[in-house]
Chain A
Amino acid sequence: MAEHEEILERMRASIVAADETEAMAAAEAALAAGIEPLTALEEGFAGAIRAQGEAFSNLDIFLPELVLSAKAMQAGVSVLEPALKAKGIDAARSGVVVIGTVEGDLHDIGKNIVVAMLRSAGYEVHDLGTDVPIPNFISVAEQTKADIIGLSALLSTTMLRQKDLIELLNLKKIREDFFVIVGGAPVTEAWMNEIGADGYGLDAHMAIEVLDSRTK
């Protein structure tokens, strides 16, 4: 058991050190040593990334450190995933998110921060990048069995595309299948209400809060 604890500690350390290679090696070691994949996920990676998230909130670490920790976690989890799946366990404990910056808009730094925070909060995130045509959000969401679609837009002109997504979901009669969250500098509560989105985030913290407290 001491060996197990040592490996779990290695996993945690790899997240804090934001070391992708070490996170993958530690995850392999965990599986090889017979640690339950769910234990490895929860006690190895998840706790460590949550702690990094808290450290960021407490201003003890800076954003690049959190982003790199989330990247290390993603790499490590990819090693655990087949074993988790074999046991019927979903690694995405908090939800599956399809996210991107809408068509016509190339701004993505805010969206990238949200992605890192979502990953550190246990979401499986499919990041489609920038300038994403609206139908792509829906097709990927259907393929990945996502429950959340996140749309970012920095410009008041491209913000209109967020409305298009809701309309398209309505047309396809699958609106109720997804929690739609919108974000970006021009996005307001009034805009969310106007287009009929389920939530909006003024920043990454708010986005996570909204998603964590969703009931849909």
Chain B
Amino acid sequence: MASHNPLKILSEDQVQTIYQTALGLLENIGVVFKEPRARKYYKKAGAMVDEESQRVRISADIIEAAIKQAPSKFTVHARVPENNVEVDFQKLHIEPMIGRLNILDIDTGERRRTALQDVADLVRIADAMENYHLIHSGAIMPAIEGVPLHASHAYGYLASVRNTGKVVKCSPRGRQTAEDCIRMAAVLAGGEDELRKKPHTFTTVNPVTPLQHDKGQTEGLIEYASYGIPIDVTSEPQAGATAPVTLAGLLAQQTADILSGITLAQLVNPGTPVWYGTCGTIMDMKGGLIALGAVEAGLINAASAQIAAHLGIPCRGTGSVTDSKVLDIQAGYEKAITLFMATLGGINCLFYPGVLEHALTISLESLVIDNEICGMAYRALRGIDVNEDTLAVSEITEVGPGGNYLGQKHTMEFLRKEQYMVKLSNRFSREDWMSRSGGKSVWDQAKDEVRRILQEHEPPSLDTDKEAELETILKEVEARGPEPSRVSL
């Protein structure tokens, strides 16, 4: 079997050094937890907690005990069981991006705000794509155009589960939002007890690097952990801005961010499934913006996967992402470079296919194109089998000098195993390309493909009772109204 992380960026000693440095940061500098319950959990576990500065200093024994409790394998359940995701640090699953504030309009090519119909379309496309498994959803969007802000997670979740039988992600932003999402996921699971046994969703919690955890997301972490729902704790350091400019320092700091979140999840509920998550990259120092398509992100991802594997925890990372505003050559090379470094580096959950523009903008066409690039990554990960059958000595003997293999049974037998069959990439002759499509670019081909899928693809239908229950919850969330103003004289 091919190695799951053939691209080794760090030596074992370097992994160990980074990990030990992170433990030192946690013990000596500590992390800020804005949520008082988090500090209480840590205090009970024996950490040094300073209430005034909200700083928690965590000794290595607390962290290491938590790492041991975090499972190395777990299952995230989908409403259609064939779509269950068996997370394992020897496997790769892909989480396309869905919920962004902006979408690149397929018809006009202009950027506009993402509306509820877009969420439905994006999820439906992701449902149809064979390489996507964990669906980042409308539930986790900052806002959905035309939908009341206080209910966007409920609208986003419902629009998502209607359009896919795959695992749908939920939002951790604040206790109320987390509770609403968990209630909705419990409907899919068949009740709260079932949800505890079979987590039907997952979430992401982002420490605010360097070394901080905000209140809202930590409330969410505690809610999700109390149900044993898988959480990826993803730090988003930008080298030179929110982390040292040196990638070694970034990795140490990021590891401290992540471990402090992962440990909290274990303190709340031992055995809660977690990912060690990175969204680490550099800041582009010309414009002061995050550079998600940078080659350094690839290095950070590959190194992160090694650190996570060392801990025995699955790793979530980023790839198939670009800072380009359109689907141009930059988008292509940035997506491919980041995807291949992350996946060949051993990332287990790969996040970001479908995005453009520093992950601010989503694109239907990009989802379709990236699915194909992801297929290539899976092919690359399978590596090259070397055995009697694949060495094909009897075929080489039979064909002999000057012959060819087109007519060999062996060719037919192994073709689909050995070669990834591209759908969008154009490998025809110029004449053939012209006569087949009028000379369309991959972007234009992808537009055709999106339109075809939206017309033809029927996601597995949602049980009508469950749908009705979800609609009831949605109405309750909406009726609760916006958060009251906190202002008073």
Interface residues of A (CB under 8 A from B): 59, 62-64, 104-107, 109-110, 113, 131, 134, 155-158, 160-161, 163-164, 167-168, 171-172, 185-186, 188, 203-204
Q: Say how far A30's CB is from chain B's closest CB, in angstroms.
A: 31
- Indicate if the CB atoms of B214 and A106 lie closer than 8 Å: yes
A selection of 11 A-B contacts at a CB cut-off of 8 Å is A62-B285, A62-B286, A63-B286, A134-B487, A155-B216, A156-B152, A160-B149, A167-B487, A171-B489, A185-B101, A186-B142
- Indicate if the CB atoms of A203 and B174 lie closer than 8 Å: no
Q: Which of B452-489 contact A (CB under 8 A)?
A: 482-483, 485-489
Bound form: Cα–Cα A89–B212 in Å: 41
Closest 4 CB pairs of A and B: A62-B285, A156-B142, A106-B208, A167-B487
Q: Which of B50-67 contact A (CB under 8 A)?
A: none
Q: Say how far A180's CB is from chain B's closest CB, in angstroms.
A: 14
Partner of B288, one of A63, A158, A185: A63
- Indicate if the CB atoms of B208 and A163 lie closer than 8 Å: no
Partner of B487, one of A109, A171, A186: A171
- Indicate if the CB atoms of B212 and A106 lie closer than 8 Å: yes
- Indicate if the CB atoms of B286 and A59 lie closer than 8 Å: yes
Bound form: Cα–Cα A48–B447 in Å: 50
Q: Known contacts being A106-B212, A163-B485, is A185 close to B360, with CB within 8 Å?
A: yes
Q: Known contacts being A59-B286, A62-B286, A156-B149, is A106 close to B34, with CB within 8 Å?
A: yes
CB neighbours of B283 from chain A (8 A):
63, 109
Q: Which of B347-387 contact A (CB under 8 A)?
A: 360
Known contacts A106-B208, A171-B489; can you find 16 more A-B pairs with CB under 8 A? A59-B286, A62-B285, A63-B285, A63-B287, A106-B34, A106-B212, A109-B241, A109-B242, A134-B487, A155-B142, A156-B142, A160-B482, A172-B489, A185-B101, A185-B360, A186-B101
**For the complex, is B215 an interface residue (Cβ under 8 Å from A)?**
yes
Nearest B-chain residue to A113, judged by Cβ: B288
B120-158 to A contact mask, C-beta < 8 Å, 1/0: 000000000000000000000011000001001000000
Q: Which of B261-299 contact A (CB under 8 A)?
A: 283, 285-289
Nearest A-chain residue to B285, judged by Cβ: A62
Bound form: Cα–Cα A123–B294 in Å: 33
Q: Known contacts being A63-B283, A164-B485, A167-B485, is A155 close to B360, with CB within 8 Å?
A: no
**For the complex, is B204 an interface residue (Cβ under 8 Å from A)?**
no
**For the complex, is B72 an interface residue (Cβ under 8 Å from A)?**
no
Q: Say how far B33's CB is from chain A's closest CB, in angstroms.
A: 11
- Indicate if the CB atoms of B288 and A164 lie closer than 8 Å: no
CB neighbours of A171 from chain B (8 A):
487-489
**For the complex, is B173 an interface residue (Cβ under 8 Å from A)?**
yes
CB neighbours of B312 from chain A (8 A):
none
Bound form: Cα–Cα A167–B482 in Å: 15
Q: Known contacts being A62-B286, A63-B285, is A109 close to B34, with CB within 8 Å?
A: no
B164-178 to A contact mask, C-beta < 8 Å, 1/0: 000000000110010
Most buried by B among A109, A158, A164: A109
**For the complex, is B24 an interface residue (Cβ under 8 Å from A)?**
no
CB neighbours of B288 from chain A (8 A):
63, 110, 113, 203-204
CB neighbours of B245 from chain A (8 A):
64
Bound form: Cα–Cα A110–B485 in Å: 26
Bound form: Cα–Cα A93–B289 in Å: 28
CB neighbours of B143 from chain A (8 A):
156, 186
Q: Known contacts being A63-B288, A106-B208, A185-B360, is A157 close to B173, with CB within 8 Å?
A: yes
